[in-house]
Amino acid sequence: MKKPEIRIVTEHKKEYLPLLLLGDEMESNIDKYLERGELFALFDPDLKSVCVVTDEGDDTLEIQNLATDERYQRRGYASKLLNHIFDHYRNRYSRIILGTGDTPGILSFYSRFGFSVAGREPDYFTKLFNHPIYEDGVMLRDRVLLEKDLAIIREALARPADIFIGTPSI
Ligand SMILES: CC(C)(COP(=O)(O)OP(=O)(O)OC[C@H]1O[C@@H](n2cnc3c(N)ncnc32)[C@H](O)[C@@H]1OP(=O)(O)O)[C@@H](O)C(=O)NCCC(=O)NCCS
């Protein structure tokens, strides 16, 4: 059986819109980062997950969008994509950040990868949308800002005795 394949998409990025809208329901928002960001797509053998990452300056990346086709969630696709992304950037950036809804499922998902809470934007979702947004049955109100130090991986690799294999727990 063929292994899942991850590609960086450089052309016709808007063809990925249906899946991107699952990670960010505002198309006008997606338009703001899609072209300047790097779009990663995981195929197994057809499209399963997408992720858009932008360079925010100051050695910092931002995950703008992460989504897995609803029919194929909880099979490890987003985890595979994220691990690939950390690997892809770890020598060039020191920090990766993102903003997400305050739901236990998503927060536990990101904590598995060593993300920690860096801040909170009160009423972000209630101000942005003129209708309530629900995720996992939770009405989204605040946006939680998460960050992860990519340099930790870099330093660990530079010191073979300290190599850490697996996902750090926080
Ligand atoms: C978050 C998302 C990208 C995860 O994709 P995925 O391919 O299912 O992720 P993985 O299979 O690698 O990891 C699944 C883990 O995520 C967490 N998780 C994801 N959805 C969850 C849910 N609804 N409830 C609880 N935990 C959830 C769990 O820790 C789960 O691990 P488990 O199956 O061992 O319990 C996917 O649920 C999604 O597309 N959601 C809608 C868009 C979104 O919310 N994007 C993130 C905003 S930044």
Q: Which CATH number applies to 5-162? A: 3.40.630.30
Q: What pLDDT band is residue 153 in, cutting at 50, 70 and 90?
A: low
Helix intervals (H) in 16-76: 17-23, 27-33
The residue nearest atom 19 of ligand 1, judged by CA position, is: 105
Give residue-wise pLDDT tens across range 121-132: 999 999 988 899
- In the reported structure, the alpha carbon of residue 158 is separated from the centroid of ligand 1 by a whole-number distance in angstroms of 31
Residue located nearest, by CA, to atom 34 of ligand 1: 74
Determine the distance separating the centroid of ligand 1 and the alpha carbon of 128, expressed in angstroms. Answer: 23
Query: What is the structure's pLDDT at 24?
Result: 94
**Residue 170 has what pLDDT?**
44
Q: Is the pTM of this model over 0.75?
A: yes
Which residues are near ligand 1 (CB < 6 Å)? 22-23, 49, 66-68, 73-79, 98, 100, 105-106, 108-109, 135-136
Q: Which residues pair with 139 in a beta bridge?
A: 134
Q: Which residue in 14, 70, 80 sits closest to 43, CA to CA?
A: 80
Q: Tens of pLDDT along 46-102? A: 999 999 999 999 999 999 999 999 999 999 999 999 999 999 999 999 999 999 999
Could you read off the pLDDT of 3-39 as tens digits, one per residue? 999 999 999 999 999 999 999 999 999 999 999 999 9
CA distances from 128 to 29, 56, 67, 115 (A): 11, 22, 20, 25
Does the pLDDT value for residue 107 go beyond 90?
A: yes
* Beta-strand runs (E) in the chain: 5-9, 38-43, 47-55, 60-68, 95-101, 116-121, 134-135, 138-139, 143-149
Closest Cα to atom 44 of ligand 1? 23
Can you tell me the distance from the alpha carbon of 36 to that of 82, in angstroms, rounded to the nearest whole number? 19
| Closest Cα to atom 16 of ligand 1 | 109
